[in-house]
Amino acid sequence: MLGTVLAAVGVFAGTNVDDIIVLTVLFLAARAAGRPRPWQIWAGQYAGIAVLVAVSALAALGLALIPDQWVGLLGLVPVALGVRGLIGAIRGGGADDSPVAAGNAFAVAGVTIANGADNIAVYTPMFRTLGAGHGVVVVLVFAVLVAVWCAAASWLGSHRRIIDAVRRYGHWLVPLVFITIGLVILLESGVLGRLF
């Protein structure tokens, strides 16, 4: 069970590094303009992550048709996302300085969902390989980590130098985390051995 908890922490952190930037900007906006309110940021983030987890779990159920020995190939999805992100970072398109426009909980949830294609790509193979009990543990870990993310972003939102550093290096960090997650899925599933 400890392995499941640690894997859930790693997967959540890896897929939500970009969310910490968005949340921090939202908390900065809340301090500067009063919108969205902090409770709306929290509620929106929880709602958005819940939708992403639900979609991933449903997609994993649909993948039950794929034989277990080939499920590990889904690790290629986060690897591809990571490589694409690195290419974008190398070309100079990785840093996004555009302001986040979200004035209520629904808008925050929308931003979270729109920013969550990578979450679905990583969560789906994870849920596909877990049993129901371990899946519940992952969901509980994610619920705790959403609170940690919101609290950290609120704190970061009061320190401009930190947001600048995260914004400067995040476009390199996120792709590397995705590649690592994908490689772990590929290696732990044993699918590479079956291919070669």
pTM: 0.68
Statement: residue 95 has pLDDT above 70: no
CB atoms within 10 A of CB 20: 18
Mean pLDDT to the nearest integer, 103-124: 79
In this prediction, residue 97 has a pLDDT band, given cuts at 50, 70 and 90, of very low
Chain-centroid distance of CA 83 in Å reads: 16
Cis ω on the peptide bond leading into residue 38 (within 30° of 0)?
A: no
Does residue 33 or residue 5 have the better pLDDT?
5
Does residue 65 or residue 54 have the better pLDDT?
54
Cα 83 to Cα 87, 111, 123: the distances in Å are 6, 23, 18
Statement: residue 188 has pLDDT above 80: no
Residue 45 has a pLDDT of 94
pLDDT in tens, 28-62: 777 777 778 899 999 999 999 999 999 888 888 87
Residue 178 has a pLDDT of 65
Statement: residue 192 has pLDDT above 70: yes
Residue 146 has a pLDDT of 95
Statement: residue 76 has pLDDT above 60: yes
Q: Where are the alpha helices (DSSP H) in the chain?
A: 2-15, 17-33, 38-62, 76-91, 105-114, 117-129, 132-156, 160-189, 191-195
Residue 157 has a pLDDT of 77
C-alpha span between 2 and 8 (Å, rounded): 10
Mean pLDDT to the nearest integer, 114-124: 78
In the predicted model, what is the mean pLDDT of the chain? 78
